[in-house]
Structure 1
Amino acid sequence: MQNKIKNIVIVGGGTAGWMTAAALSRAMGTQLYNITLVESEQIGTVGVGEATIPLIKFFNNMLGLDEDEFVRETKATFKLGIEFKDWKTHNHSYFHPFGNIGVNMKGVNFMHFWLRWRAQGGKLDFLAFNAESAAAEAKRFMRVGAQPGPKLLPDINYAYHFDATLYAAYLRRYAEQRGTQRIEGKIVNVTQHPDSGYIESLQLDNGQTVAGDLFIDCSGFKGLLIEEVYKTGYTDWSHWLPVNSAAAVPSENTGDLFPYTLTTAREEGWQWRIPLQHRTGNGYVYCDHYISDDEAASKLLNNLDGKPLAEPRTLKFTTGIRNKFWVKNCVAIGLSSGFLEPLESTSIHLIQRAIFQLLELFPKNEISDLLSNRFNHEMQTEYVETKDFLIAHYAVTEREDTPFWHYVKNMELPDSLKEKLEMFRLRGEVMADKDAFFNEVSWFSVLFGQGLRPEGYHPVADTLSEDELSTRLTKVRAGVQKRVEMMPSHSTYLRSGKLKASDLS
C-alpha cells in the first residue's frame, strides 16, 4: 500500500506517550510531519516507574535536555545500581552495579582474572574493583568530567530516580514547544480502511475526528489499538514471573538520600525503595495467589522507613508481551506492547528501545512488512533476553521458606536461560551478546550474588604471573578508592546546586 507518511497520531500520554512525542518532534520535526497526541485527563496513568538504567542518558542527550534542569524539574536523584537484600537467603545482600568491574585484560573480561585470584586465596569481593559499588556503599556521588591524558581513574556510570509524572509533564512541555499538538478526548471509535484494514481515523467522545497515517499505541495495558482493534494476542509469561500485583505508596524521606535502588525480598515477592528529592517511592510487588491485596498493602505500610504520604494504590498486571508490536500502520510502545515487572528498572528503557527502533525503521512512503517484521523481531528479542535475566533473580536462590519462593526456585526454566546458567557454571560468563541489554557485568553480579559459583574461568587468566596479577588488581583497587574519596555525599551533591560536571579527574 503506497501511503505517504505525514500525520503521526500518538494514542495516550504518560511516560510512553510523551517520550515518543518528544523524540519524534526532535528527530523528525514538524515541518514535514504533523505529530498529534490524544489523551484524556479522565484516564489515569500508571506513573510509578521511578528508576532507570544508564541508557536513559542517551535518550535525554538525543533530546538535547540540560541535565541540571532535568534533575530539578523531575525531583531526580542519581542511581549507581541496585541493592538486593534477602534474595539469596535471609540476612544476605548483594549489589548489581552500573559501570565496569575492573579493567579487561588481554581481551578477556576482568572477572576471569578475579576468579583466578579468588581461587588462589584473594579475599576482596569483586565489587571492590567497581567504583559505582564503592560510591554507593559510601553514599557518595559526583559526575566525572573529561579526563585529559591516560585514564588513571574509573568513570562513574549512573542513571536516575525521578518522578515519572513530572518527567511526562516535562517532556510534554518539550514536545509542545516543538510543534506537537495535544488533543484532549476519549476515543470511542476507530475507523479502518475497508480493504487494507489500516487505521484511518479516531473518533473522540466530543465528536472530533483525528485522522492519521501512522498510529502509535501508548494506551497502556488496555492496548486500545494493538489489541482491541488488531487482536494481536498476548504471550503470558506469568508461569516464570508470577508476581502480578503491586501496592505503591510515597513516604517522607528519612536520613541521607542514598544513590541506589533498594529491593528487599518479601514472603510473596519483593519491595522497592527509591529515594527522590521530595519523597521516597515504595512498592510491594507480589503474587496475589499467595497474599491478598489488603494484606500486601498492610505489609508495605509496616515496612516503610518514613511516614506515608498517601494511601497505597494497587496495580494489576500480567507479565508478558503482545504477539506483535507493529501491525499494519499501528505500533505499540510502552505497556500496550507488554510488561516485565519493575525488578531491574526496565520499563522506561523498553519504551526508549522501541522509540529508537521506530526511528531507525521509520517508513517514508510505504509501510512495508519488511519494516514491521524487523521491528517485531528486534523488540521480541529484547523482551525475551530481559525476561531471562529477571527470571534468574528468582530461580537462582537458596530460599524455599514460603510457598512463593518454593515455586520460583523449583519451576521449569526456559531453555535459553538454562544454557546461560550452565555456561556460567562452566566458566563465569553467559556469553551475552555484545549489544545485549544486560551485559556480562550484570549477569555476573546477579548470578554470583544469588549464590551461583563458577567452576572455572577463561584460560587466558592463567597467563599472568601471580605477582603481575596481584599488582594489576592492587592498581585497580587503588584507582577505585581514589575516585570515591574525591566525591561528596550524594545528599550534599544534590543540595549544593553545583550539578555541572566538575573537573574531577
Structure 2
Amino acid sequence: MNHASDATAARKPVRRVVIAGGGTAGWMAAAALSRTLGKVLDITLVESDAIGTVGVGEATIPTLVTFHRLLNINEQAFMAATHATIKLGIAFENWRDVGKDYIHSFGLTGKDHWTAGFQHFWLKGRERGLARDYGDYCMELRAAQERKFAHLPDNGINYAFHLDATQYAQFLRRFSEEFGVQREEGRIAEVRMADNGDIAALAMEDGRLIEGDLFIDCTGFRALLIGQALGVPYEDWSHWLFADSALAVQTESVRDAIPYTRSIAGDAGWQWRIPLQHRCGNGIVFASRYTDEATAHDTLMGSIEGAPRTEPRLIRFKPGQRARAWERNCVALGLSSGFLEPLESTNIHLIQRGITRLLQSFPHVIEQVDIDEYNQQVANEITHIRDFVILHYKVTDRRDTPFWRDCAAMDIPDTLRHRIELFAETGRVFRVPNELFAENSWIQVMLGQGIVPRQRHPAPDMMGDEELQHFLEGIRRHVEHTVQRLPTHMDYIRSYCAMQRVASD
C-alpha cells in the first residue's frame, strides 16, 4: 500500500517522538535519539510497570561496542551495571552431528591475499599436511578456547557482551533521562488515529492522551501500533525455521564465566547458556511440532548447572518479519518488527540497526521516499541474517530425530542455496555490501557444519611447501603468542569493573 499522497497532504515537521514500550528496544531508541537529537526533539517513552518484557536477549555481537562508542557510553560503567561479561563467539555443540563441535568466533582468520581468501591457503596446506585446525589462525577463537581476554591496542580484538537485559534497560533509562527523555508510566488503552490514517496519539487507561508526530513501536510481539492499529501484515518464516517456543531460566553461577555463548543442539531445537558475572542465563528453543513443553522443560532443567533463581518462563513466537517496519508515521523496532530465534544473537543488533537507519534518515517531515528506502534496507538485512540462521539447520549430518531429518530435507531460499553451492564447489564466499556477517563468519559456520570445498583458488599453488608452511605457521604463532599473554577472562573483568566502582565511590 502506498500512502504517498496522504503523507504529502499531512506533511508537518517532526518535533514530538513517542516511544511505545520500554525494554531493550525502547530504551535503546530513547538513548540514541536523545543523545543525538535531544535538543531539537521532545521525546517521550511510555511503558507500564505491570507489563513484563521478554528480556532474554542477553548475548550480543560486536556491533553493540560500536553503538556504545557512538553514544559515548562508558564501557566500564555499563559492564558494572549490567553484570556483563565478554563474548568472543558462540560454541556450536552437536550441530554438525552429535559429539562434533565448533566455534563461530568474531574477528578474522589468517590473512587474505587480494586474489583469494585465507581459506584457500589453508585448504592447500591441509592437502599437503601443513595446516592445523582452521580456528588456530584466529585470535578471538583461540582466546575463547583458552578463556582469556584483554583489550588490545588499536581495537586489536573483536568482542561483544553477555549482559543482564533487565539491568541494561534500566541503565539506558538513566542515560536517556539525563538527555531529557520523559517517561510516562501506564498502560496504553487505545491507539488514536488521525483523519489521514496516521497515528495521532496514545490514549492511556487513566485518561491521559500522549500526542506525537512520529511513533516508535516497541510493544513487543503485541505490535500494538504497527500491527494492530496500522494493520501491517506479518510474514511467517516457520517453513524454514521450525522453532516456535522457548523456555528461559536463570541459575546461580557455579564457576567463572567463559567468554563465549554455548549453543547446544538437542532433539528438537537447541539450548543456550550465557554466563554473566553474577548468574547464568539458560534456555531451550524448541519446535512444538516435534516436542512438547513438558519434555522441553525436563530437558532444560535436567541440564542446568547451579540452583535456579527463577521459574522457567515460556515464550511463544513466530519467526518472520513485518511486511514493512515503517508505516506512515510509525517505525517498529525489536519484536514488533519481527523475530529471529537468538541462535546468532542478532536481535539487539537488529534493534540497533533500525535505530541507526532512522537517525541517518530522520525526517524533517515524513516522506514516502524515506519510508520506502528504510523498509528496503531493513528487509535486505534481515533476509541475509535469516539465511545465515537457516544454514545451521540445513547443512548438518544429523538424521537422528524427525526434527533434524526434516531440517536437512527442507527447501531453502535461493539466496542461501547459491551461497552454499558456491562455497561447496569453489571455496569462495561473497558478501553483499553492508551485510552483517562477513566472509569469515560464513566460512567458519560452513566448515563447522561439514562443508568441504571441492575446489580452491590456484593462487596458493605459487607457494612451495616451505613457503606455505612458513606463512601458515607465522600466523599461528602470532595468534598463540598473543593469546598466551592475555589474562584470564574473569580476572580481567574483575579488575576492569572494579576500576569503575572505585571511580564511582
Shorter-normalised TM range: over 0.9
The 8 Å contact of residues 343 and 389 in structure 2, kept in 1 or not, is answered as: yes
Residue equivalent to 1:45: 53
Q: Deviation of residue 495 (structure 1)?
A: 2.0
Question: Whose helix fraction is larger, Structure 1's or Structure 2's?
Answer: 2
3-state DSSP of counterpart to 1:128? helix
What is aligned with 1:342?
A: 342
Task: Kindly provide the CA deviation profile for residues 347-406 of structure 1, in whole angstroms up to 9, marking residues without a partner as x.
Answer: 000000100011111101x21111000010000011100000000000000111111111
1:425 and 2:424 correspond: yes
Residue 286 of structure 1 corresponds to 286
Q: TM-score, normalised by structure 1?
A: 0.95
Equivalence for 1:205: 205
The amino acid of 1:353's aligned partner reads: R
Q: Is the Cα–Cα contact under 8 Å of residues 77 and 497 in structure 2 kept in the other structure? A: no
CA distance in 1, matches of 2:463, 2:367: 54
Asked if 1:449 is matched to 2:448, the reply is yes
Q: Distance in 2 between matches of 1:3 and 1:385?
A: 35
Aligned: 1:256 with 2:265: no
**How much does 1:499 deviate?**
7.5
Q: Alignment partner for residue 95 of structure 2, among 66, 87, 102?
A: 87
After superposition, what is the alpha-carbon deviation per residue over 1:401-436, rounded to whole angstroms, capped at 9, x for unaligned?
A: 111111111111111111111001122233122421
- Distance in 2 of aligned mates of 1:459 and 1:184: 64
Corresponding position of 1:151: none
Deviation for aligned residue 1:470 = 1.5
Question: How far off is 1:311 after superposition?
Answer: 1.2
Select the residue among 123, 130, 134 that pairs with 2:138: 130
Contact 1:190-1:203 within 8 A present in 2 as well: yes
- Residue 414 and residue 146 in structure 1: after superposition, are their counterparts in 2 closer, same or farther (change >3 A)? closer
Q: CA deviation digits over 1:213-267, x for unaligned, max 9?
A: 0001011011100000111101100110010000100111122211000011011
Q: CA deviation at 1:474?
A: 1.2
Where does 1:168-207 land on structure 2 (aligned, <5 Å)? 168-194=169-195, 196-207=196-207
2:359 aligns with 359
- Whether contact under 8 Å (2:122, 2:131) holds in the other structure is no
User: Does the residue aligned with 1:86 lie in a helix, a strand or coil?
Assistant: strand
Judge conservation of contact 2:80–2:497 (CA < 8 Å) in 1: no
When the two chains are superposed, the root-mean-square deviation of aligned CA atoms in Å is 1.4
Contact 2:79 2:497 in 1 (8 A): no
Q: Distance in 1 between matches of 2:479 and 2:119?
A: 16
Residues 307-344 of structure 1 deviation map (CA, whole Å, 9 limit, x = unaligned) = 21121101000000001111110000110000000000
> CA–CA distance in 1 between the matches of 2:428 and 2:283?
32
Question: SS at the partner of 1:238?
Answer: coil
Give me the whole-angstrom Cα distance separating, in 2, the residues matched to 1:463 and 1:217.
Answer: 56
Given that 2:44 and 2:181 are in contact with CA atoms closer than 8 Å, whether structure 1 keeps it comes out as yes
* CA gap 1:497/1:57 in 2 versus in 1, 3 angstroms: closer
Name whichever of 328-337 and 181-190 sits farther off: 181-190
User: SS where residue 438 of structure 1 aligns?
Assistant: coil
- CA offset at residue 465 of structure 1? 3.1
Amino acid at match of 2:339: F
Q: Distance in 2 between matches of 1:268 and 1:10?
A: 37
SS at match of 2:228: coil
Aligned with residue 123 of structure 2, among 115, 121, 135: 115
Q: In 2, are the aligned partners of 1:5 and 1:213 still within 8 Å (CA)? A: yes
Aligned mates of 1:228, 1:339 — CA distance in 2: 17
Q: Shift of residue 123 of structure 1?
A: 4.1
Secondary structure of 1:167's partner? helix
Aligned match of 2:26 in 6, 12, 17? 17
Amino acid across the alignment from 1:425: A
SS at match of 1:432: coil
Separation in structure 1 between the aligned mates of residue 241 and residue 350 of structure 2, nearest angstrom: 17
In the alignment, what sits opposite 1:370? Answer: 369
> 1:81, 1:96 within 8 Å by CA — same for their partners in 2?
yes
Partner of 2:240, secondary structure, is: coil
TM-score w.r.t. the length of structure 2 is: 0.95
* Partners of 1:5 and 1:214 within 8 A in 2: yes
| Deviation per residue, 1:156-204 (Å, 9 max, x gap) | 110000001100000000001110000011111222221x211111110
What secondary structure sits across from 1:393 in the alignment?
helix
Q: Distance in 2 between matches of 1:37 and 1:257?
A: 34
8 A Cα contact 1:11 1:218, kept in partner: yes
Q: For 2:97, what is the secondary structure of its paired residue?
A: coil
Contact 1:106 1:460 in 2 (8 A): no
Shift of 1:107: 4.6
Q: What amino acid is the match of 2:193?
A: Q
1:63 Cα offset (Å): 1.2
In structure 2, give the amino acid aligned to 1:376. N
Instruction: Provide the rounded CA distance (Å) in 2 between the counterparts of 1:238 and 1:468.
Output: 49
Q: Which amino acid aligns with 2:472?
A: L
Counterpart position of 2:379: 380
Instruction: Name the CA distance, whole Å, in 2 between partners of 1:190 and 1:434.
Output: 38
Question: Which range moves more in the overlay, 345-354 or 138-147?
Answer: 138-147
Query: How many residue pairs end up in the alignment?
Result: 491
Report the equivalent of 1:486.
Answer: 485
Counterpart among 13, 28, 34 of residue 4 in structure 1: 13
Determine helix, strand or coil for the equivalent of 1:88. strand
Q: Which amino acid aligns with 2:106?
A: F
Cα displacement (A) at 1:500: 7.7
Amino acid at match of 1:59: F
Q: Does 1:409 pair with 2:408? A: yes
Partner of 2:296: 296
- Equivalent AA in structure 1 for residue 21 of structure 2: G
Identity across matched positions, percent: 45
In the alignment, what sits opposite 1:313?
313
Kept after mapping to 2: 8 A contact 1:108/1:460: yes
Distance 1:419 1:47, change over 3 A: same
Partner residue in 1 for 2:5:
none
Task: Measure the CA separation in 1 of the matches of 2:463 and 2:330.
Answer: 56
Consecutive unaligned residues of structure 2, counting only runs of 5 or more, are 1-7, 501-505
For 2:293, give the aligned amino acid.
Answer: D
Distance across 1 between alignment mates of 2:377 and 2:497: 40
Q: Whole-Å Cα distance in 2 between the matches of residues 33 and 368 of structure 1? A: 18
Q: Please list the CA deviations of residues 437-480 of structure 1 after superposition, one character each: whole Å capped at 9, or x if unmatched.
A: 11111001111101111111223233333322211111111110
2:119, 2:324 → 1: CA distance? 38
Say which SS state the counterpart of residue 43 (structure 1) adopts: coil
Unaligned runs of 5+ in 1: 148-154
The 5 Å alignment of 1:394-405 reads 394-405=393-404
Name the structure 2 match of 1:150: none
Within-5 A mapping of 1:218-237? 218-237=218-237
CA distances 1:268-326 after superposition (whole Å, capped 9, x unpaired): 10000010001010000001112211221111000112221121101000000001111
Inter-partner Cα distance in structure 2 for 1:95 and 1:500: 31
Counterpart of 1:131, as a letter, is M
Q: Residues 414 and 500 (structure 1 numbering): CA distance in 2 closer, same or farther, change over 3 Å?
A: farther
- The alpha carbon displacement at 1:124 in A equals 0.6
Shift of 1:498: 6.6
In the alignment, is the contact (CA less than 8 A) between 1:17 and 1:37 conserved in 2?
A: yes
Map 1:262-277 to 2 at 5 A: 262-277=262-277
Distance in 2 separating the partners of 1:411 and 1:499 = 50
1:141 partner SS: coil
- Matching residue's letter, 1:11: A
Alignment match, 1:464: 463
Q: C-alpha distance in 2, partners of 1:464/1:378?
A: 42
What is the match of residue 85 of structure 2? 77
Structure 2 residue 392 is the aligned partner of structure 1 residue 393: yes
